[in-house]
Structure 1
């Protein structure tokens, strides 16, 4: 009797090509997040800007680690070894942007680039602002449904890169390694359940710091209060979900907002338009030729 063939294991991640031009390459990379401990050494042959928009993971370069969540852009340097781990279940999704080398150098402030032949970033990640988050969502939705011309997509990609790398909108965390690791634990905790109404006592119990020390350390490292950081994670999750969700009241509740009006007000203050208006942008008809 012949045994049925065992199906091959599914790959740990899925890559979708969204745009390829001489200037810009855009990919969507979704990972199942099954590796709780550090993965094997990985490397990329080109520098990439990686924008996580769903889930959370850690990227390790040597002894340094970076929390990858929707408030950051990760800077993957060409020919630089790294490892990835997933401290919480659920996987992750990312928009990956690769620019031609001359454009990357032109857009990057001198303070961000190491001296040398190729464009190599000094830092592993930068915190991005609300407009960059919105650009990630708009570009991803438009490219997925074919509702954007290549020229417009290239312009959006360059704007996103410029805004994410620019000194006025990007923030480099800075503090002692001990404080940075404590804040990393807090960021993983917040990103693991954006809809939960955390209290300082809850966070302190999970991370091992006092409420006072936590608030001081977080503000020093991220230059923003804990609540504001969590709010941006919640709203970034809304950017991901709005296109397919018609029940905004339930979405607001799932994301931890006290009411639909609270959610709508926070969204409009952060992104400059209402959730309904943003959803309309993501649902615009595909271009026809």
Structure 2
């Protein structure tokens, strides 16, 4: 079995209902639960300071689940699939373009609008350390009861790659405990810094109902793109699916996410490609066509532009030195 298979498969881990994942993070419980619960958790690393876990969800259907409550502050990076976190009437679409935050004592529900469930990497940092990391980038976070002021945030390519490299390094067990702890703190620090920078940008003042309607519209588009990113759809197709006019949809989506619809879809395609290459997919032409790229050349150009290395080099050079070089390129 390859390293990728062993990192991102959890064949020996227990299925847990989502509301009990936080408890598993805290005690690395191996308590057996029936597979119908649909969620499998694997603890990859745990110290007194940080925890790294893998969560794979395979729900029986896409319906909104029962009410749940977080017992910890943690962050999830989606590697595959999509889920929706329901906070009252607000819907937070979680896919590979976004990190999702869970505040302690936060009540929510989860649904899966796309068949196949999701695979996520989950990171927990002890609260006093997390407070200090957050305060370094957002002074207003210090002492805040709900540490994460936003339910999700876009993830830059450099941070997303760092997260994948960290997951692989943790699984390889070649790092000392302190090295893992340092890298988790650096990863979360980089993510929180990017959030603060985005939130620091001025935005027009809107009525609450208008703002809520725009947030809902953007969420519907993200939800649809998460399910159909590989399909050759035009703007009219997307607008019709989410019941918006094309112009209004494009304007609201860019205002809410900072992306064009085309750019957001391309990023989803590229991150799906990254996941498949990381798991050993070796037919680049078939991969490109499967994900909706016009041809191998177009795919290679966009992949290199996004990640600083060609798909073939990424596939062939799955070593720590190459990943480190990629991170340096992206951070430059």
Shift of 1:154: 2.7
Shift of 1:142: 3.1
Cα separation, partners in 2 of 1:238 and 1:165, compared to 1, 3 Å: same
Number of the residue aligned with 2:169: 142
User: Which segments of 5 or more consecutive residues in structure 1 lack a partner in the other structure?
Assistant: 1-7
SS of the counterpart of 2:168?
Answer: helix
SS of the counterpart of 1:121?
Answer: coil
Structure 1 counterpart of 2:155, from 110, 128, 132? 128
1:212-251 matches, within 5 Å, as 212-243=247-278, 244-251=280-287
Number of the residue aligned with 1:80: 106
Cα separation, partners in 2 of 1:273 and 1:65, compared to 1, 3 Å: same
Deviations along 1:128-149, one digit per CA (max 9) or x if unpaired, are 1111111222222333344544
SS of the counterpart of 2:68?
Answer: coil
- Check the 8 A contact 1:138/1:282 in 2, yes or no: no
Write 1 or 2 for the structure with the bigger share of helix.
Answer: 2
Number of the residue aligned with 1:101: 127
Structure 2 length normalisation: TM-score? 0.76
Structure 1 length normalisation: TM-score? 0.87
Shift of 1:114: 7.3
Structure 2 counterpart of 1:194, from 226, 229, 237? 229
Cα separation, partners in 2 of 1:128 and 1:60, compared to 1, 3 Å: same
Shift of 1:97: 0.3
Number of the residue aligned with 2:65: 39
Shift of 1:169: 7.7
- Check the 8 A contact 2:153/2:195 in 1, yes or no: no
Number of the residue aligned with 1:210: 245
2:140 and 2:41 mapped to 1: Cα distance? 28
- Check the 8 A contact 2:68/2:108 in 1, yes or no: yes
Number of the residue aligned with 2:6: none
1:170 and 1:241 mapped to 2: Cα distance? 31
Deviations along 1:63-83, one digit per CA (max 9) or x if unpaired, are 222111111111100111111
2:229 and 2:169 mapped to 1: Cα distance? 25
Number of the residue aligned with 2:180: 153
**Greater RCO, 1 or 2 (C-alpha within 8 Å, sep 6+):** 1
1:31 and 1:112 mapped to 2: Cα distance? 34
- Check the 8 A contact 1:56/1:191 in 2, yes or no: yes
1:263-278 matches, within 5 Å, as 263-278=299-314
1:256 pairs with 2:282? no
User: Which segments of 5 or more consecutive residues in structure 2 lack a partner in the other structure?
Assistant: 1-33, 204-209, 322-332
1:191 and 1:266 mapped to 2: Cα distance? 19
1:151 and 1:251 mapped to 2: Cα distance? 38
2:299 and 2:184 mapped to 1: Cα distance? 28
- Decide which moves more: 189-198 or 24-33: 189-198
- CA-atom RMSD, angstroms? 2.5
Query: Aligned residues, how many?
Result: 278
